[in-house]
Structure 1
């Protein structure tokens, strides 16, 4: 079914139990975790390999330690990332995608590829917009 403003239903509907367009639906917060800047970049980076925290921080250029930690907690809570701590000295913590995380990352990477591929069009549109004086 195509999504339109009128087709959005509350989360309690049996025909479609989760609807991201419904204000109180828990799928909305998961979508925010996935599509936020740091969530999408973290999922993309982890799709490449299992990484330790500092490796991940270097791969996701510009993320602060605090934001990466918060992002990883949210993605772990949503079942997209698995955190494995080894009782070694010094402690070792690895992060990897769960099967659900891989499924989400696969679709997300397709979107990332599309955006990167079409950037010349985006940049041309921006330039034309700015030349018109914006709004």
Structure 2
């Protein structure tokens, strides 16, 4: 795995954006849409709450107990089980209940540029 500097990443992003703009100017809107989607897919971020589930096991607390103590809606817990982003205020309430910090309950991962995988 090779790591790029911030300057190299910025340069690559600028090249991709310039190519997308060129497609739009040439009325290749369909191609531009595909390029934008691909760009978003490769550069989007993913959230993992595996640290939260492990912390709950360590503290011998169930997900439903956490939900009740932190005042979290059931659909928010479902989002978290699916590793979807949730409101920062909710994460703050979870941290208050568990007496921890954001990094103790979640991890923010960048998508792999080659395969679109985390």
**TM-score in same-fold range (> 0.5):** no
Report which of the two structures shows the higher radius of gyration computed on alpha carbons.
2
Higher helix content, 1 or 2: 2
TM-score (norm 1): 0.28
